[in-house]
Amino acid sequence: MEQLLITMILVTLGYFFGRRAEKKHIKSIIEREQVLNKLPAMASRFPPQDGEYQQQLVSGSVVIANDYFKTFVAGLRNLFGGKISTYETLLDRARREAVLRMKQEAQQHQAELIFNVKYETSNISGQYNKKMPVIEVHAYGTALIKS
């Protein structure tokens, strides 16, 4: 009974705080994406051949932890299967944030373009599966700087 009450409190807190943080984050991502849209990031491996460019590795990474509500819903999902939509928003935010950070770095080098952009993710919560998932998303690419 006590256990149940604690879980209920954690889930409720996780829901309200997690949702508030998520809304705030998505709003900020959309705003910054509009600003940094002038610096395109491409997945292509072939850089433009017209002119001299200096090349530079740029990267951005973000570490995200889950809230209790999302973990709880995901745990229930384990019973029935299907897409874990609570994690989808979380990872979507993480990827976009990582790209934004990478672009920010490229901007500091006065880059014009970022090529060969790739993502890496790694689970840093360890092997113990009862722990909340903590995931790193890392975006990196080659920034082209006009010399």
Distance of closest approach, residue 5 Cβ to another protein, in angstroms: 14
Distance of closest approach, residue 41 Cβ to another protein, in angstroms: 6
Distance of closest approach, residue 109 Cβ to another protein, in angstroms: 17
Count other C-beta atoms under 10 Å from residue 123's C-beta: 10
Binding site for another protein (CB under 8 A): 15, 19, 30, 33-34, 37, 40-42, 48, 69-70, 72-73, 76-77, 79-80, 83, 85-86, 88-89, 91-92, 95-96, 113
Q: Where are the beta strands (DSSP E) in 6-133?
A: 53-65, 113-123
H/E stretch holding 56 reads strand 53-65
State whether the Cα torsion 126-95-35-32 is positive or negative. Answer: negative
Q: Which is nearer to another protein, 48 or 122 (CB)?
A: 48
Distance of closest approach, residue 136 Cβ to another protein, in angstroms: 18
Q: Which is nearer to another protein, 85 or 123 (CB)?
A: 85
The span from the CA of 116 to the CA of 42, in Å, is 6
Q: Which is nearer to another protein, 7 or 122 (CB)?
A: 7
Report the candidate in 97, 126, 128, 131 with the shortest Cα–Cα distance to residue 27: 97
Q: Where are the beta strands (DSSP E) in the chain?
A: 53-65, 113-123, 134-146
Q: Which is nearer to another protein, 40 or 122 (CB)?
A: 40
